[in-house]
Amino acid sequence: MKQMLRCLLAASLTVISSAALAEDALKIGAPQPMTGADAPFGDKFKKAYSMAIEEINAKGGVNGRKIEIVIEDHQAKNPLAATVAEKLITEDKVLILTGGRASGQAIEIASVAQRLKTPYLVDHPSADAVTAKGWDWVFRQNPPGSIYPEAFHKFITEVPGAMPKSVAVVYDNTLFGKTIAAATIAFLKSKNVPIVADEAYPVNTLDFKPIMTKVKAANPDYLLMMAVATTDAILMTRHAKEIGVTPRAFVGFGGGFGVGDFATQLGPLSEKVFSSASWSGNPNDPLTAAFYKNYQAKYGLHPHEHEVEGYSVIYVIADALKRAKLTGNLEADRDAIRQALLTTDMQTAFGKTKFGNWTGPNGDQYTNQNIYSPEHSVLAQWRNGQLLNVYPKDNAETAYAFPE
């Protein structure tokens, strides 16, 4: 009996002490997919967040207080994303939210955050709508989807002779594919470039030959391809080359064209294919380079866009927490953090971050969207199985090979 009492006492002491600690820490909430098909992405963000938090806490935290991240699994399901956002805000009493991973879930989180007056700093979801609905509690560090082709637009405008004489556009019918296609078609039309083929396909198409036969007949100067799925990117490129489409340049947009499998599966067929790659920080910037090195040392994995975004977003939040006057009153503190985010102006491994209201290329009216987003677009090219940034020059790892 005595022993039992002692056990109980010890247990209650640990509970009390951990409660005291938890109260002391500044809590950040992050709904992420930790199970299901998207789980690998949730894990990437978890690693990136943890690394930033360890670094900040090791240096004394924020104004002497430790910061802590609370991750909740939303299984990539929209209703569950709303559920866990609600739980993080009302039960875990986090000061600010980040994460989300995919756009559908981010919209649910943003809608909940707006109604419950809790700041939500988006780190990866790219649907334009997230910051185009006038939600003033929602901020976004990363560029919206319609910004992705920005570097390609600069390339064709600035490099002599690069402006296409005609283009064929082939895109998947996802929000991402359609947004990018719309942005780049609008830009090309403004430059009077004829669109000779405009073809949408469903994700996970197995045979691109019918589409590519049409494209070949149109004989485009550039072939622009949008693919979220890696298999689509690979098959589309292979079938285009097998059918004998011979444009001056193959340009891929979207995740599928940026992964290692693209080169391993296609071999020499991948050579010199351009990829309007997702932004993962400027590799020539010392802050970004240091992050890449440290991350590799810590986890033995090569970081990419997700890790840079997750790692940097914690620094942006820590900066806002540092500047906000926290009183212990949850509602007032959340508003103070929102006010602090409005005046954020800093450099992270991701790049420059400052939030503002502006108009996107597809006419979206952004609220609290990173104003440096148009700079956060990069054109890369596959060279000997490696994807290297080639444009703009400041972010380039090598010179572009164009025309051959």
Contact set with another protein (CB under 8 A): 34-36, 39, 42, 71-73, 75, 77-79, 82-83, 86-87, 90-91, 104, 107-108, 111, 115, 127, 129, 133-135, 173-175, 178, 202
Instruction: Report the distance separating Cα 65 and Cα 398, nearest Å.
Output: 43
How far apart, in whole angstroms, are the C-alpha atoms of residue 337 and residue 127? 24
Closer by beta carbon to another protein, 115 or else 393: 115
Contacts of 56-59 with CB under 8 Å at 24 or more apart are 56/314, 56/315, 56/318
Which of 35, 72, 34, 67 shows the shortest CA–CA distance to 51? 67
Nearer to another protein, 36 or 268 (CB): 36
- Between 77 and 304, whose beta carbon lies closer to another protein? 77
Peptide bond before residue 220 is cis, with ω within 30 degrees of 0: no
Would you tell me how many other CB atoms lie within 10 Å of the CB of residue 382?
24
Which run of H or E residues covers position 180?
Answer: helix 175-190
Q: Nearest approach, Cβ of 23 to another protein (angstroms)?
A: 19
- For another protein, give the closer residue by CB, 124 or 216: 124
Q: Residue 43 or residue 221: which is nearer to another protein going by CB?
A: 43
- Per the listing, tokens 């090791």 go with 58
Of the two residues 73 and 397, which places its CB atom closer to another protein in the complex? 73
Whether the link from the prior residue into 149 is cis, omega within 30° of 0, is no
Give backbone dihedrals phi and psi of 69, rounded to 5 degrees, phi first: -110, 135
- Comparing C-alpha atoms, which of 122, 60, 48 is closest to residue 85? 122
DSSP state of 380: E
Q: In the bound complex, what is the minimum distance in angstroms from residue 246's beta carbon to another protein? A: 31
Dihedral Cα 337, 338, 342, 345, nearest 10 deg: 40
Nearest distance from C-beta of residue 56 to another protein, angstroms: 21
Distance, in Å, from the CA atom of 135 to the CA atom of 124, rounded to the nearest integer, reads 17
Residue closer to another protein by CB (options 52, 102) is 102
Minimum CB distance to another protein smaller for 105 or for 344: 105
For helices 103-115 and 78-90, give the axis angle rounded to 10 degrees.
40
Whose tokens are 């400027």? That residue is: 282
Closest to another protein by CB, 84 or 337: 84
Contact 379, 366 (CB under 8 A): no
Of 321, 310, 387, which is closest to residue 63 (Cα–Cα)?
321
